């Protein structure tokens, strides 16, 4: 038994992370691949059954994982993300959620054939989208900030509300069908929800205070905050079932507010985000691989398929369009948001809980809930996962252009390089704090932004989603290093580069570590002052056609030729760094700075 559990955990972890990597590699939605992988190793081939292998630990493990994912999502929320669309977000997380509850309940009753009481309960649960599914989809689709912010806020705020709505509906049904219970019985529900809110808020404030006062060392900060998340969830969950998610969501919001005053909280966010990626992968495969073949077979019945279609094409679009009448959202934004509503982990886990207690209460139709929920989850994940990107591009809510380049610093060389990128059809944006330095770029109609890239408000004023690579090319080496370090988590270390700079005495830096050479541009002699001097005396950026596959040492190139990047046959850009060897394929172009 012990070995079975161990093997199951390792297999699930391995397949989960492999699914994430494969999704990135082939540009598929990661949730889709994880769902398929879970079904294959579970009900299809019967390799593992995590629910049997883990026994009583199965449900608590999933619940704690969901708690951490919800905390990570809510702590990352910033009200500046929804500046200008706050009315829309409020309407969607209130009015649209209520309309989806009513519409989902009616669809479950009249189409899926559930008893009205069961339909009322499950309709409340199905309002959820959740960060476990929506954030991976947003990460792949790269939507414009406004639309992405609405979907992100809806997913995180409504996620804990769905189980609470279902629980409230269940309590109402009990009062209406049990003469021994009075309306005061519902008071316990509201008190439990209020307790969860207060608990989450107070623990969030406590954590923020402890961090600001330095009451624990830096290396223990992330583990301690994670421990508080689990404690908060457990206390609320033990007090009243299904309130733990509400408590950790409120705690995350409270902790997120302290980022304005305590900068080190942001470092904790990166740690928790990495943990959330692992947990999302693991939990999805845990749930799908634990399904039975009977449940999978039930999915393909007409009532269940009809219910899912109604949720996709009627309930979701109508709830969004009606609730956002008179708001800031455009028709295109309403169309996309009205289509995208994938269900995920919370719906699957909580529906199992309600299926059990409803069957025990004598509602035999409740046995259909697991199949109904899985059908909605799997179909919405697949349909919305594959359609989000293309639909967003069709509606103009995501970029149709190739991956862009962000340049920090508006020197002569930076403007010349940006102008070349513009000529070959690559989106480029130059950011500098000086209007005077940006003037040459503006005259060449290159995209510019005047401001400080390290200022916290900058990320809410410009749309960085079209850009996949960042080049820091100012004359200050320390500033270049700070910008690169700050934006490496967002762009990725392989897409973060800086320009070397001479010291004031004219000497180059001490020997550069091998690991850093992959992130320093061009060569040790191609420093900031030298590149700008060459541009100012008439050097130009030109492309050289490569007619055969091979490798070239930079040392053999003429002194007046500085290789800048390689444009591959498929249009991708590979920047030249301090690594000595240049590798080419037939049909590539080597772009250089030369005086010819």
User: Among 78-87, 203-212, 216-225, 315-324, whose mean pLDDT is lowest?
Assistant: 78-87
pLDDT of residue 508: 47
Interval 297-354: pLDDT, tens: 888 889 999 999 999 999 999 999 999 998 888 999 999 999 998 887 778 778 877 8
Kindly state the percentage of the chain with pLDDT values over 70.
90
Q: Is the pLDDT of residue 49 over 60?
A: yes
Map residue 531 onto helix, strand or coil.
helix
Q: Which residues contact 464 (CB under 8 A, 6 or more apart)?
A: 406, 490
User: Among 362-366, 386-390, 507-511, 534-538, whose mean pLDDT is lowest?
Assistant: 507-511
**Average pLDDT for 187-192:** 85
pLDDT of residue 35: 82
Interval 1-22: pLDDT, tens: 567 777 878 888 888 888 888 8
Burial 282-295 (b: 16+ CB within 10 A, else e): bbbbbbbbbbeeeb
Element (H, E) at 589: strand 589-594
- The DSSP result for 277-308, as a single string, is HHHHHHHHHHHHHT--HHHHHHTTSHHHHHHH
Burial 63-72 (b: 16+ CB within 10 A, else e): bbbbbbbbbb
More confident residue, 58 or 559: 58
Q: Which residues contact 293 (CB under 8 A, 6 or more apart)?
A: 43, 44
Cα distances from 172 to residues 118, 238, 343, in angstroms, run 12, 21, 25
Beta bridge partners of 584: 550
Report d(CA 397, CA 389) in Å as an integer: 9
Question: 82: pLDDT confidence band, cut at 50, 70 and 90?
Answer: low
pLDDT of residue 506: 47
Burial class (CB in 10 A: 0-12, 13-18, 19+), 549: exposed
**Average pLDDT for 393-408:** 85
Token pair recorded at residue 16: 């989960």
More confident residue, 77 or 580: 77
Nearest to 520 by CA among 483, 471, 455, 589: 471
pLDDT of residue 276: 75
Interval 95-150: pLDDT, tens: 999 999 999 999 999 999 888 888 988 898 888 886 777 877 777 777 887 888 88
pLDDT of residue 550: 74
Token pair recorded at residue 79: 């009200």
Element (H, E) at 205: helix 185-212
Domains of the chain, each with CATH number or no CATH = 56-394 (1.20.1530.20), 404-594 (3.40.50.720)
How does the average pLDDT of the chain come out, rounded? Answer: 82
pLDDT of residue 518: 56
Nearest to 35 by CA among 272, 384, 350: 384
Kindly state the percentage of the chain with pLDDT values over 90.
14
What strands lie across the sheet with 467-472, from one edge to the other? 447-450, 428-432, 404-408, 467-472, 496-498
CB-facing half-sphere around the CA of 525: CA atoms within 13 A: 10
Token pair recorded at residue 252: 């995350």
User: Among 157-166, 211-220, 261-270, 284-293, whose mean pLDDT is lowest?
Assistant: 261-270
Contact call for residues 437 and 410 (beta carbons, < 8 A): yes
pLDDT of residue 107: 93
Question: 566: pLDDT confidence band, cut at 50, 70 and 90?
Answer: confident
Token pair recorded at residue 566: 């390689």
**Average pLDDT for 569-574:** 82
Question: 208: pLDDT confidence band, cut at 50, 70 and 90?
Answer: confident
pLDDT of residue 334: 93
- The DSSP result for 320-347, as a single string, is HHHHTTTSS--HHHHHHHHH-----HHH
Contact call for residues 500 and 520 (beta carbons, < 8 A): yes
Nearest to 576 by CA among 514, 526, 507: 526
Report d(CA 287, CA 283) in Å as an integer: 6
Question: 81: pLDDT confidence band, cut at 50, 70 and 90?
Answer: low
- pTM (two decimals): 0.76
Q: Is the pLDDT of residue 199 over 90?
A: yes
Q: Which residues contact 60 (CB under 8 A, 6 or more apart)?
A: none
Question: 467: pLDDT confidence band, cut at 50, 70 and 90?
Answer: confident
Report d(CA 71, CA 256) in Å as an integer: 10
pLDDT of residue 510: 54
Token pair recorded at residue 356: 């059990």
pLDDT of residue 265: 56
pLDDT of residue 308: 93
pLDDT of residue 102: 93
């Amino acid at each position: 038994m012990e070995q079975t559990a161990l093997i199951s955990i390792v297999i699930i972890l391995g397949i989960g992370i492999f699914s994430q990597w494969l999704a990135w590699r082939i540009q598929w939605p990661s949730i889709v691949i994880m769902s398929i992988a879970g079904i294959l190793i579970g009900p299809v081939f019967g390799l593992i059954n995590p629910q049997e292998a883990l026994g009583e630990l199965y449900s608590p493990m999933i619940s704690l994982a969901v708690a951490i994912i919800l905390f990570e999502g809510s702590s990352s929320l910033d009200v500046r993300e929804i500046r200008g669309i706050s009315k829309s977000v409020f309407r969607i997380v209130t009015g649209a959620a209520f309309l989806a509850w009513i519409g989902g309940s009616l669809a479950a009753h009249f189409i899926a054939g559930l008893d009205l009481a069961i339909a009322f309960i499950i309709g409340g649960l199905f309002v959820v989208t959740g960060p476990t599914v929506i954030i991976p989809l947003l990460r792949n689709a790269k939507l414009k900030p406004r639309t992405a912010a609405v979907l992100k806020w809806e997913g995180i705020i409504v996620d804990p509300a769905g189980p609470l709505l279902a629980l409230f509906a269940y309590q109402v049904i009990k009062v209406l069908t049990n003469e021994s219970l009075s309306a005061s019985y519902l008071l316990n529900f509201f008190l439990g929800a209020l307790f969860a809110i207060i608990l989450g808020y107070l623990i969030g404030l406590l954590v923020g205070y402890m961090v600001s006062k330095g009451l624990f060392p830096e290396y223990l900060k992330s583990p301690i905050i994670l421990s508080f998340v689990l404690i908060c969830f457990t206390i609320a969950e033990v007090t009243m079932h299904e309130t733990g998610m509400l408590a950790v969501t409120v705690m995350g919001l409270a902790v997120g507010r302290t980022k304005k005053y305590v900068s080190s909280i942001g470092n904790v966010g990166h740690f928790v985000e990495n943990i959330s990626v692992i947990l999302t992968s693991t939990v999805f495969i845990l749930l799908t691989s634990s399904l039975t073949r009977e449940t999978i077979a039930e999915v393909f019945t007409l009532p269940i398929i009809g219910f899912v279609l109604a949720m996709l094409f009627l309930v979701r679009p109508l709830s969004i369009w009606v609730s956002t009448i008179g708001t800031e959202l455009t028709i295109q934004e309403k169309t996309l948001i009205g289509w995208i509503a994938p269900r995920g982990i919370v719906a699957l886990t909580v529906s199992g809980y309600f299926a059990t207690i409803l069957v025990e209460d004598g509602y035999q139709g409740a046995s259909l809930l697991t199949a109904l929920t899985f059908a909605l989850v799997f179909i919405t994940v697949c349909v919305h996962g594959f359609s989000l990107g293309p639909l967003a591009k069709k509606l103009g809510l995501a970029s149709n252009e190739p991956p862009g380049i962000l340049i920090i610093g508006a020197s002569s060389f930076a403007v010349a390089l940006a102008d070349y990128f513009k000529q070959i059809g690559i989106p480029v944006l130059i950011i500098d704090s000086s209007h005077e330095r940006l003037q040459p770029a503006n005259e060449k109609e290159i995209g510019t932004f005047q401001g400080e890239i390290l200022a916290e408000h900058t990320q809410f004023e410009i749309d960085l989603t079209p850009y996949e690579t960042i080049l820091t090319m100012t004359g200050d080496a320390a500033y270049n290093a700070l910008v690169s370090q700050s934006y490496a988590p967002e762009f990725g270390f392989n897409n973060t580069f800086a320009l070397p700079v001479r010291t004031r005495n004219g000497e180059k830096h001490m020997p550069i570590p091998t690991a850093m050479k992959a992130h320093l541009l061009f060569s040790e002699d191609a420093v900031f002052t030298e590149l700008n001097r060459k541009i100012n005396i008439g050097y130009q950026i030109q492309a050289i056609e490569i007619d055969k596959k091979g490798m070239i040492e930079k040392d053999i190139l003429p002194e007046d030729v500085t290789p800048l990047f390689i444009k591959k046959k498929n249009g991708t850009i590979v920047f030249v760094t301090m690594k000595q060897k240049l590798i080419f394929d037939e049909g590539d172009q080597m772009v250089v700075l030369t005086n010819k």
